[in-house]
Structures are given as structure tokens and as C-alpha cells.
Structure 1
Amino acid sequence: MLINERIRLVKPLRELSESLFTDNEIFEVEDAGTEWNPGSKHRIMKVLKRGTTRFIERFEREVTALESIEHPNIPQTNGVDDYFTFAPSRSPFNLRCLVMDKIEGQDLEEWIENHAPISQALALDWLEQIVAILDIVHRTGFFHRDIKSSNIILHPQGQLFLIDFGAVRRVTDTYLAKVGAGERDVRTGKYPITSIFSHYYSPLEQINGKAVPQSDFFALGRTIVRLVTGVNLMDLPTDNKGRLIWRNKAPQIDKPFADFLDQLMAPNPGQRPSTTEIILWRLKKLPEQNKIYRLTRSKPFIFSAVIASISLIGLLAYTLGFPVYANNLVAQGQKLEEENNTEQAQKLFDQAVKIRPELSNQISKFYFDIAGRVKEDLELEKKYYNLAAKYNPNDIDSYNNLALACQFLRDIDCVNNTYEQLFRLEPNSWTGHYNLANFYETQEKYDLAQEQYNLAIKYGQEQALMAVNNLSRLNNLQGNYAQAQKLAIKGLNKAPSSDKQLRSALYKNLAWAKLMQKDYQGADKDLQTALKLDSQRVDVYCLLSKAKEALGDINSASGYGEICLLARMDTWLPEVQKWREELIERIFKKK
């Protein structure tokens, strides 16, 4: 059978099924090639057997994800040539087909059936490889929802590939996003999320149709447990909270790494690492922690440490006197803290401060500096800024940074308590009011955000022009376009010509307001100015697509729309997600 004059079926990659539970079939095919992918080669083709809206939407999400995610270790495809419909003879409807590159190797479920449980070193390597892929997947705005050993392929050269994006979801389509947007089905009263899960790999929130990006981390942790134990997950016992009891089956795994895997598999998604960046940072630190763990648990080390501490403290107190003794306590405490022994370090610090209270500022600065070095681990950052504030309760910088760490962790009590302390010390802190406004905005508490942005502008004056910009954007989000336009013009009148990024953001907000008020020519002009100032702003390309379409310039609208969809963003703004989804809907409607 020759399809589209280029695709010839070679063989099915699994037994063909008439089951109602199988919505697609997968074939190895010979592809004669296209302009995008020249040369004849063997590839994989997935064929959707069902024509219902739900299955088509899911299939097209996979197409969009594979096109959007730029990583060499996921299946490569080009939706222009590789996604098409095909009408076989005697079929009442068209079949949707997706062709992608074939990945050589064996999936890890097949591999572990014929190999011994993997070592800790290999587990760390494989975990880091998959998280690095997942990092790009999440940054592109998707989460996988079906990570498991059978969906990871080991290439003969040792690299891992993540496959089967059939369950992929946009981050903006999560249960929490639907709740936040109020997208409840008027007939059922429920939020329209499809529940897709794999037994023993998917967390409870995903089984209940409430998956979040951290659901991928749960599945990833269970995948590694499958590989380090060599035991099928269904054969591992669980405790009363549903957590796997697995450590006795993997004696090669040290406690720090085992603790980390259990954190990935925490029942509550809020107890798992919040981002892929944090996981990657933690993985870099784990070998050091494992080495320290083994060393500090050895009997010779414990005995010698106790004897040395007693001897050293006694000698210092006797020969040098209390001031020098206190300084040495601080030095010992710093060394213990660098070895992650915070509890013992604080005992020494507290003793030192009792002898010399002025040392508290030195200890506070020590913790402040450590916090600045652990930016990738928000929990550690929060811990150290807390300690910095403990030893110097009047340090405004510690409270500012602590508040930001708590914001990223979404620890609302910590945020409120920290800003209360900060404003007690410095009521006119414009940066504090600006950061608190950002936090309220992420919670969609727009009235509170506006109040804090206005305070930032009041106290910061010319320094707080970013608050003017954000306030303009916030008014656009709420539909107050005239006020958004007024604020953007105010900001442009004061913003220095050298600050191109700020001026670009202000022109974008001005154009957004004009676009929504149907001043399409004015919006187009301001967006072109914003683009000249900062060509990396994805939101400008999205708005240009809308403006050009409104002006009837369909070719330009299409070009800008493609950049809007495919460009990568460092910060995910909800309006950009919405504009991308609108673009995708229009594209699929045209198809």
C-alpha cells in the first residue's frame, strides 16, 4: 500500500487490534522523503482509528507538541508534510496519520526484563538525561502525562529518548488552569479535563483528571524505582498513604538519593520539586551528598569528630579566652554548614552570639551569601534567607529575598508574614510593594496587585517604571484598555531611551490597548517599534499576527503567527498562552 505517493507500510509494530480501548495503530513505514526530510528511510507512522472530536483533539495536540518541542531526543516530525489524512478504500471516514523518525534501540521495560537492577551511578545518569528532555518539554508549555519505562528508549550509543506524546497536555490546559479560568461545563458542573493514566506510574491527581506538570515527576520517580529494583511496580508493597516500599529491594541506592526519589513520588504534588530546573540542580549535588553521607556515618569519623571537638573547644576556651573562642565557634559553624549540617552549625552560632552579640551580623551575612549561591533550589534558598533574618532581624535585603523565594514556592503564609516584617521595617520599600504586586497578579488577585503597583509607583517614582508597565498590562488583561493606554504613554514619556527592553514592553502594552479598541493601524505601528527595540518578545509577534489579520495582510499574519507558536519564552505569560491557543484553533479550523 502506497500512501501520498511516498509512504509504504512495512509492518505493524504491535498486534493490530479491534478493541474499543485502542484508538491508534503504529506501523514501521518506508518514507520516500520530502523536501524537509529528503532521502528514503524507515520511519514510524501512527494512525488514528477513531473520528470523534475528543480523539482528534488529542491526536492534534501530539502533532503540535512534537512540532513545537525542540530536542534531539524526542521523535522528530514536520507537521506540514508528516501530518495528513488518508482515505482507504471501503472506509467510511478519513484516517489521520502522523509520521515521525524511528528511534533505534530498546525501551527500558524490555531492557530491565533481561538485565540486573541498575547501579546508582547509572540511575543518576539516566534520571538526569530524562529530566533534561522534560525540562525542554515543560519550558515549551507542555507536560507529558505518560512517562514510564516502556516510553523511554535506550539507544545503542547510550542516550535515552522520550517517546509517545499521545497523552501530552498544554500547561494552560491543566485542571488548576481550568479552575482559575472558571471553565466549568454548564451541563455537568465539572471542569473539561480528560483523565489519562498508566497504572502504577500515574499519581492520584492525574487519575482524578487533575494532572499538573509535577505529575510527570511522580511518574519519573516510579520509573527509576522500577529500574533500580528490577521489580514490577505492581509487586512492590505500599504503606497506608500509598507510597511504595522499595528501598529493601535496592541496597545499592544511598539514603540521600532514595530520599530524593521518594520526594519525586510524594503523594501531594506540592511536596514534589516544583520545576525541572530544581531537579537538575539537586541531581548535581547528590553525588557530593552521598559521599558526605557515607563518610559522616562511619564509626571512625564519628569517634574522631567527637574527640577533636571536645579537645579543640577546651583548648581554645582555656588558652585564648572567650572572644577568640567565639570567633572559632563561628568558623566551626560555617564549616559544618558548608557540609549541610545546619542543626549543629546553629548550635555553635548561638553559643558564639551569646558570648559576642556583634557576631550576629557576620553570621547573617554568611547565610545571606549561601542563599545567593543556591538560586536553583528554592527550598534551600528560603531556609538560608530565614536564617539570615533570624541572626539580623533588621536586614531588609534578607526579607526582600525571602519573600521572593516564598513567592516562587507559593508559600502564601510565608509571603504574608515576610512582607509584614519588611513593611514594618521600611514602609516605603517600592521594590517590596512591586514584588508583592507580582505575587498577587500570579494569584489573579488583580485589585490587590493594582494597589501594590500604585504604592510602588508612589514610593519609587522614576525607579518604578516597570510597575507602570505592569499596571498597564494588568489593565489590558482586565479589559480597561483606555486606562492601559494612558499608563503606557505615561511610562514612555519617562522611560530612558537606553532602556530598550522597558520601552519595548510599554509599546507592546500600548499596541495591545489600541488593538482591542480597533485602532489596527496604530497598533501595527507601535508593535513594529516594540519589535525594533526588542526582537525577542514573543508576545509582540502574537499581537502582530492578530493586527495583520485584522488589516487583511494574511501572509504577514501567518508568518508572525508561526513565530508566536514556535518561539521559546523564558517567562510564560497567560495572555501568550491564550493567544497561542487561539492561533492553533484557527489553524486546525482551516485544515
Structure 2
Amino acid sequence: MNYCINSQCNNRKNPEELDFCQACGTALLIENRYRIVRYLRQPQPAHPTKIFEVEDWGMGLEDWGSLKVLKVLKYDNNPDLVRLFKQEARVLMWLRHPGIPRVEPNGYFTVSPHKSSKQLHCLVMEKIEGENLEEWLINHGKIYQDEALDWLQQITEILDQLHSQNLLHRDLKPSNLILRPNGQLTVIDFGTVGVGDWGTTKIGSLGYSAPEQMTGEAVLQSDFFALGRTFVHLLTGQSPMNFPTEGKTGKIIWRNYAPQISPLLADFIDELMNPIPQRRPKHTRFILKKSKELSEKIAAKTKSKTQIKLYWKFLVLILMGFIGSRLLLPKIPFFIQTWIFPTFDKKLTNIGFEQYQNSNLGKAEFYYKLALKFNPENAASYLQLGLICETRQDFGCAKTEYQQAIDSAPARNNYYVAVAAINNLSRLQIWLDGNSEIAINNLNLGLQLMSEIRQTYPFDFTKRVESNLHKNLGWAYFQKLNYSQAQSHLKKAIKLNYENAPAQCLLAQLLEKVPTDVDSLTKVRQNCINIKSTQNPETNTWKNLVRQSLQTEGEKL
């Protein structure tokens, strides 16, 4: 099937054997070389360009029959759009880098449909195989630290190519980055590239573009802001627009959604996103140097604990060999099975927890599972494995591990682990499954266990734990439309811990459903937004719902 390039044509689909469109007479072999195969992007009325996949039937043996991308400007009567389109063509012809689509010197041209004076501006470029990172996130989930450092280096090298030519990309975001099958990242969509005097045009994407760029005052460091925002999206799996901002600084609060990375890397990403351009890195070379130093520091921090890990691994191997020996097995004293193994599995769990705190999820997972080999009733390891599954957004796995923690906790009277697992499992049951009834039964069991926890843990700590149980019970009853029970539990949660932001946000939503005085509703809404808490994805959703209610009613905080 061949497509006609004429957007005014009544029937653009043509059999392959035709040279001219059967409906309008326009040549199907564009520039005597390219045949349109299909749309690569579905037509969007608001978008000034159309994107097609084309076959190249040029003279070069390398090009013969190869697939390329054809970008067509829909309008020739808008000087600014024509200028930007030609500018993109020139930029891509100049630059040669594996992270930039290749355009040959004759890749830009104009054509006119049959019996039309209208000129269609065309740009043919290399077709990049792979997924854009927005699609990649949907299919694979958020990235981890090693990927982040590698991708930061790659994207910065591409920006270095642009900036060295006095060019500014101005629209860096996950959907404009493609991961090739060989692992090479490629930046696409150079239609917004600025040449020389970058600050004359207000252009970019909300959530990614720097504040100064959106007011027409872009600088080189504006690309660094978008780079930081891009990595927030990649590391959290959420758009930067979803995160609350600090009132004084304007910085987004995102770190709790990326526990898999080192604070060192998080600090540097915050530096890239500083609202003030002068406080961001000055040039790409600095970012390249800094990312290399970060990789070395993070590696050194991990290496400092290698001796301890090797010691425990060596001890594990010895014990495994000792256990596996048929000759020695009958001679293992009873006290080893009774005392050494339980102590040993706790040690492994502690090592796993250290790895988890350092965002080494794979190694943490290894030690937790190894601890369970020695003691299948190690409830703390099940709980931590559930947290790892949640971080990876594998919620089915998380629910299984939390249930195992609940079932195993009584063996060692580990009541806190049981209650923590109940809280986390109930959250997922309410949020993902809509299964409020089961969640209510589990949470009431958790409240019964609080008497045991109070005997062991400090008073302030137990209040926060009990507050979360009541918050989740309030949420469950709210889902069941039992507003009186929901309100009772949410108020208990806030009384136990006034800083429980999720409880404040849920109560704000509930008070919108029941008769209440305006002052009480306003106060709870303000608490919801002002109290910092971004530990769970549902909390941020609730904060945004409260903000939307305020905007609808014209209130201002």
C-alpha cells in the first residue's frame, strides 16, 4: 500500500503498482525517491507536522529499500513554523553522533501536490529502532541507579554536541528519547532547537521546561533543568507534574519515590533542577565529570563493606558444606540448630537491610532470601521483600510477601512486623483491589496486636503505627461509603499523629461528602497540602485531588 502525500486528497491509499495517486494525481514517488508506507504517528490536528515511515528507493546501494522517517510540515503560511522546520533540518545535517538521528545533505526538500501551489516542507531522517523512554517506563517500570548513571552520561554527551555548536534542544523529556536495541540512547524531535539567541521564543513542555524558558529567557542551563526533570520521571515512574513543590524554593518533592538511588545522585539531580539557572551546572563537561565522580563514590561506598560481606558469604559456604555432608550431619549438635541458625538468619537480614538502605535492591533481595533459607519463618525478611516488590511496582509479589510476613510473625512474637505488614497489605487491598472488607478484618487484627507492641516499643513510635492503622481503616470505610465509621477512624488517626498527611487528605475528601462547617474543611485541606509526606503514591493523588477542589472553588492557600 502506498500513501499519497497530499493531505487534501479524498482517498490517499493506493495499490503498490501505481506511480500516481488514483484520486488526485499527485506523484507517489516523492522527490523521485521515497514512497510513504504508513503513519508513524496518528494525525493530530493540533500538531504542525505529520510523521510517516517511507521506503527509500534512491540511487545509493546502502539506501535501496531501506526504511526512513519522513516529517512533513502541514502549513506553509506560518513563517515561524517554516523557520523552525528549516532550522531542525540544518541542525540534523550538521551533527554527527550515534545519539542524534542522521540527515543527509539532501534530506530537506519541498514538494507540491498535483495542481496545487501549496508547498509541503519535507525532512527525511534516519529511522531509529527502539522504544521511547515514556513507552519503556510503561513496559519495564522505573529505572535503577546503574541505568540512571549510564543514561545520564549518554544524554549529557548528546547535549554536549548540541551546546558546542551553540544549540539548545529546549524539549528534553522521556518521549523525546529512544533506547536503541544496542543500549544507545538517541534524542529526537529537534523542531524546538534554538540557535544562538535562544531566549526569544516561549517554547517547551510543561513539567520539564525550565521556568526561564517558559518566559522566553532560555539559557544553556535550561536544558539541564529538563535533564533533571526527565530523570525524576525515569526514577519514580511518575510525571514531574504529579509532585508537590516546596513553597519557599519551588523545588519538587520527589525523593521518597526513588528509594533505589543514593542520596548523592538525588542531590545532583536536584542541583540540575534548581529553579535559579545560575545555581545549575555551568556546562555539560561539568555534568560529565560529576557523573563519573558519582559512579566512583557510590562504588567506593559499596566496596567499604565488602570485607564484612565476604566474611558472611564464607561462613555461609562453610555452614552449607557442613550441613550437606552426610558423614557429619548426624553429629551436628542440637544447640547449633536451636541457637546458631536463628542468630545467623538475623545477621543476614541486617545485611540485607543495609543493602536496601543503600538502594542496592538486588543484593538486599539476595540476603533476605538467604536468611529465609536458614529460617523460613523470618517475618522481617518477608516484610522487606514486600517493600522491594513495591519499589519495583510488582504489587502482586508485594501482597504475597506481606501475607507471608503476617503468617510468620507469631513464631518469634514479632508483633511489630505483623502490624507493619498488615498496614502495607491493607493499603494494596484497598488501593489496587478495592477489597475493603478483607482490609478491615486485617486492620482490626492489627489493632488487637497494638497492646503487645506497646510493651516493647517507645510511646511516640507506637502512636504513629496505630495512627496508620486507623488511617487505613478510615480509607476502607470511605471506600464502602460508610462515612460515619470512616470519619471516626480518620479523626483517631490524626489525634494519634497530627502529622499524618494521608489521614488529613482523606478526611478533607470525606468532609466534602458530609455536612460540615467551612472553617473545618479549610483547615483540614491546608493540613493535607502543607504537611510533607510522599511515601506512598496514593498520598500524592489525594493531595492533588484537594488542590483541584480548591482551584474549583477559587480558594487560595
The TM tier, using the shorter chain, reads: 0.3 to 0.5
TM-score, normalisation: structure 2? 0.48
Greater helix share, structure number: 1
TM-score, normalisation: structure 1? 0.45
